Structure 1
């Protein structure tokens, strides 16, 4: 079970996973060595699975952020899964979900034309419902 200090550590790492252990320790009132030991324990216990970066999509030319709810008519999802794996340049996440849909795709596209091409190809494998992100708050 996580204690208060572990939760503080996770909060600081969410803000900046590149923080030094010395800086992390100062923020959570531990020595750098004690903070490093806590982080190692969180990693060993599978609490921290990986460290990632957040990329600015528009600066990379990926200005269209879309969520696509996938509805499968067939029980065989493998062709859809194979298609999604070929679209890594656009697909950020493919979540298996409960509810009306079967999957929820999170994607980023450089243009409406590329989004349209993607949706035309996707329609060979599944029906979908599209939502475009207007702003992130």
Structure 2
């Protein structure tokens, strides 16, 4: 069970996971050592699963972000899933969903041409509905 201090720690780490334990302790009214012990406990219990970075996709050369609703023809999805493994640079997330489709695919592309190539290849494995991100 998480207490208010644990929740405060998680909020601070969500804002900046590179914060020092001393700074974290100051923000949640603990010593650095006590904050470190709490973080270790949250990691050990599986509440904190890992740390990550946020990358600016445009500066990485990816100018087009798309959400693609995947509609498979059958209940056998392995050809589609195998196809995705060959497209890793473009895939951000592939979520299995309920509702209008089978999967919601979040992708990034460096150009309209690469998006078009991807969609042509994708269409061999599944139907889709495409949504392009205009502004975040």
Residues 48-81 of structure 1: per-residue CA shift (max 9 Å, x gap): 1110101001111101011111011111100100
Secondary structure of the structure 2 residue equivalent to 1:13: helix
Aligned position for 2:26: 26
Question: 1:86 offset after TM fit, Å?
Answer: 1.2
Aligned position for 1:2: 2
TM-score of the aligned structures, taking structure 1 as reference length: 0.97
Residues 102-124 of structure 1: per-residue CA shift (max 9 Å, x gap): 10111111001100100111001
Aligned position for 1:60: 60
TM-score of the aligned structures, taking structure 2 as reference length: 0.97
Secondary structure of the structure 2 residue equivalent to 1:70: strand
Aligned ranges 1:1-137 → 2 under 5 Å: 1-136=1-136
Residues 73-108 of structure 1: per-residue CA shift (max 9 Å, x gap): 111100100111111100011001111111011111
Q: Identify unmatched segments of 5+ residues in structure 1.
A: none
Q: Which runs of 4+ in 1 moved over 2 A?
A: none
CA RMSD of aligned residues (A): 0.7
How many aligned positions are there? 136
Q: Identify unmatched segments of 5+ residues in structure 2.
A: none
Provide the rounded CA distance (Å) in 1 between the counterparts of 2:30 and 2:98. Answer: 42
